[in-house]
Amino acid sequence: MAGADMVMVGHITMTNIDNQPATLSKTMITDELRGRLGFDGVVVTDSLAMGAVADMYGSGELAVKIVEAGADILLMPKDMKAAVEGLEKAVESGQISEERINESLRRILVLKAEKLDIE
């Protein structure tokens, strides 16, 4: 992890941890990657159009579960409009806080600023 700006979380299932794809796993993203390993960069998912996750949930529900797990960038949802609407509804209902969305936004903007050499 040392020096990595971003980490891509794949859809591999860790049956001995929580029996779900790592992309959906708060244990893997928040507890292990961010907590135990101390990674504070951007977490991006693998393609959300892949059957490993797209066949399990609709794009809206999938997007919400992934943000709740701790990812920042959701790569290639099968239905982008449904993913955005799912997240909007989750924020409006309080299921996901604006602060949680802002955490991801801050990480992304900091990385962009660093790469563009903006202070």
In a domain, 87, yes or no: yes
Phi then psi for residue 43, to 5 deg, are -105, 125
Phi and psi, residue 12, nearest 5°: -65, 140
Does residue 68 form part of some domain?
yes
- The answer to the question of residue 1 being in a domain is no
Query: How many domains does one find in the chain?
Result: 1
Q: Is 21 contained in some domain? A: yes
Count other Cβ atoms within 10 Å, centred on residue 55. Answer: 8
What are the pLDDT digits (tens) for 13-67? 888 888 899 999 999 999 999 999 999 999 999 999 999 899 999 999 999 999 9
Widest CA span in the chain: 44
Residue 119 confidence (pLDDT): 62
In a domain, 112, yes or no: yes
Range(s) of the domain holding residue 76:
6-116
Cβ–Cβ < 8 Å for 71, 83: no
pLDDT at residue 116 in the model: 86
pLDDT digits (tens, 9 = 90+) for 102-115: 999 999 999 999 88
Mean pLDDT across the stretch 4-9? 94
Whole-number pLDDT of residue 26: 96
In this predicted structure, what is the pLDDT of residue 114? 86
Which residue's entry shows tokens 């977490």? 43
Spell out the residues 6+ positions from residue 44 whose beta carbon is closer than 8 angstroms to its own. Answer: 6, 7, 8, 9, 71, 72, 73, 74, 75
**Residue 84 belongs to a domain:** yes
Q: What percent of the chain is predicted at pLDDT more than 90?
A: 83
Q: Is the pLDDT of residue 1 over 60?
A: no
Average pLDDT over residues 93-101: 97
41 in a structural domain = yes
- Mapped onto helix, strand or coil, the DSSP state of residue 16 is coil
For 61-91, how does the pLDDT look when each residue is reduced to its tens digit (9 = 90+)?
Answer: 999 999 999 999 999 999 999 999 999 999 9
Q: Quick one: which of 71, 65, 11 has its CA closest to 41?
A: 71
